[in-house]
Amino acid sequence: MKSMTPQEILTRAKTAFRMGDYQEAEKLLGKILKQTPGFLAGQNLLGSVYDRLGRYDQAIEQFRQVIAVEKDYTEAHNNLGVTLKNVGRFEEATSAFKKALALDPERADIHYNLGNVYKRVEDYSRAIEEFSKAKELNPDFVPTYNNLGTIYEKLGRYDDAVRIYRLGLQVDENQAKIHYNLGIVLEKAGKLSEAKLELKSAVKLDPSWVDGYNNLGVVLQELGEHREAIDVFKKIRKLEPDNIQACNNLGVVYSRLNRNDEAIQCYREVLQINPTYTLAVANLGALLQENKLYSEALSEYEKLVKLEPEDLEARYNFGNSLLYLERYEEAAEQFEEILKRDQRHSKSLRALGKVNHLLGKVSQAEECYRKLSEVSPDNMEHRFDLAVLAKERKDYQQAEQEIKDYLDKDPQNERARLLLGEIYFEQSLMKHAAQIFQDILDENPESIEAHYYLSRIYRHEGEVEKAMASLEQVMTLQGSGEKGSDLDKFRDTLELYEEAIAQYKPQVKEEWRRSLKNLKGYSFDTGEKEEEELEFDSLILDAAGQLEEDAVPIINIGDSEPVLAIEEEEEILKLDDTEEDWEEDESSVDLEDNRPPSLINLLSDQDLYGDMAAAPRQAPSQPQAAK
């Protein structure tokens, strides 16, 4: 059998290299170099083999041996730069690429590789310069468009990114990763319909690409196309049954459709696969909280705090759950722990103020609100809280000033206007109070509180018929709400109604009592109340300090956070003056479920598939989805 020449063996080694059979390539090159020790092309390729095998020191040594023999060997300088970049030695890599360009300044691939180094060290202006030069020298080299687009995306120059990606697709419309990256940038620019089309193109070109499907599902959620999003996430689960991101995101979509049982089941399935997947824990807790399953929500938030003790938002929600369950001392401990770590955590300052207020620690509550005014002067909620405290101690002048400061920023806030009306009412400034409550009813005829206080004003002024008419409105509105939660308020309103009847004309009193008896026949068996608790003032939607769900809101723990990672191109390891090779690393997309309900915090801090070898990111939840 005729023996092969070194050049023939080199050709076979290159083929093995391109096929990814690096061991075979190394074996063949060893044979060449044993026969011909000074065969520089063989040494150069062997250095590239070592690089692919992760044996970087040997790769660097091979390239330097070649350069020591032939200092003008362009490929060796280029490949040395690639390996040095791979091990994070960026200054040396830059020097190597510049030496290669000094030998051959018209090489687009070397400009491209140098651009990737500048990109890694975040010298974006120079990276743009090198990628643009590479594009100019070789307009058909697609990876340049991709990586240039990723830099524009990082800089927030979305229009430029879109323009470059579209130019790349004009060169080769079958580039799935460019369609994908273009979809991400369009989403960030708020062009959701266009983003959907690009992501659909990406998965059409690569039907098994889970990342592409996941982010397509997230965009569909943002578009409100929930049923199509469900189909997409179910498709992922067929491809990868244990894909927790898809299962989590499916839960997010179900929650958006108020299919809460299915959403809860999805989150629990995720936690069966991975009990430490904090996004699902957070989403489950938020969903349970939203549905007033406070004890179950508390259990999930407690798990989350144990899994992520430094996650202040998780701890805040844990404290909030304790607050809803009236475990005030324990709630205070959680908020205080947060403030030890972050004295400027405004939500915890306000929540701690609420807890102290509920515990009767008025001075501590006021201190929290004063600190809040220093930490977050533009947030006027502390003004409302201070007004409540001042009203309770009957410092009406201070209360009026605080709530007027609040209304200067938010003049249509109904809760604040109600409080101002109460302040006037308690000072017997009935005309001022009546005007406020009537203005509210002109805008919102279903305001129970406004009807209630108007009835009190009418009664005070001796207009009993108007008082009863207003109380009838209160009873009608209360009766149309959730049964059970407002029964005490409903019953107390009836008692006030009876008191009004006592003042009414004797000839119709008995007729009204018969009507009341019929109303009361509606099973209000809630037990006796202490006399002092029967005053509606303490039961009406308490602008004066009762705990409301919107007063200390649960943090957004979810929202689909797709791991919208942008795909980047890998550097080129040159084999010789005419042949080149680059590979793409796949990345995985992860959706996050953030709730309350901005489902999809889509693309913040996502890496684009650049270098064409970057990993996709984890998406945002509650639903933060696995964005």
Six token digits for residue 301: 């938030």
Six token digits for residue 97: 């690429």
Q: Which band of pLDDT confidence, cut at 50, 70 and 90, is reported for residue 32?
A: confident
Question: What domains can you pick out in the chain, each with its CATH number?
Answer: 171-305+556-575+582-627 (1.25.40.10), 414-538 (1.25.40.10)
Residues 517-542 pLDDT 10s? 555 544 434 334 333 332 323 222 33
* Cα gap 314→206, rounded to integer Å: 37
- Bigger pLDDT: 514 vs 538: 514
At 322 the pLDDT is 94
**Per-residue DSSP letters for 213-237?**
HHHHHHHHHHTT-HHHHHHHHHHHH
At 616 the pLDDT is 30
At 37 the pLDDT is 82
Say how many residues make up the chain. Answer: 627
* Cα gap 277→287, rounded to integer Å: 16
Residues 159-176 pLDDT 10s? 999 999 999 999 999 999
At 245 the pLDDT is 93
- Above 80 in pLDDT, residue 128? yes
At 5 the pLDDT is 84
The contacts of residue 430 (CB under 8 Å, 6+ apart) are 424, 457, 460, 461
- Bigger pLDDT: 610 vs 333: 333
Give the other-Cβ count within 10 Å of 28's Cβ: 25
Q: What is the mean pLDDT of residues 602-611?
A: 38
Residues 174-215 pLDDT 10s? 999 999 999 999 999 999 999 999 999 999 999 999 999 999
At 512 the pLDDT is 54
Backbone phi, psi, residue 474, to 5°:
-60, -45
The residue to which tokens 């690429």 are assigned: 97
- Above 80 in pLDDT, residue 501? no
Asked whether the bond before 562 is cis by omega within 30 degrees of 0, the reply is no
Residues 228-268 pLDDT 10s? 999 999 999 999 999 999 999 999 999 999 999 999 999 99
CA 528 to chain centre: 47
- Above 60 in pLDDT, residue 618? no
Q: What is the mean pLDDT of the chain?
A: 80
At 323 the pLDDT is 93
Give the other-Cβ count within 10 Å of 518's Cβ: 9
* Cα gap 107→105, rounded to integer Å: 6
Q: What is the mean pLDDT of residues 131-151?
A: 96
* Cα gap 426→557, rounded to integer Å: 40
At 493 the pLDDT is 53
Residues 439-475 pLDDT 10s? 999 999 999 899 989 988 988 888 888 888 888 888 7
- Bigger pLDDT: 411 vs 548: 411
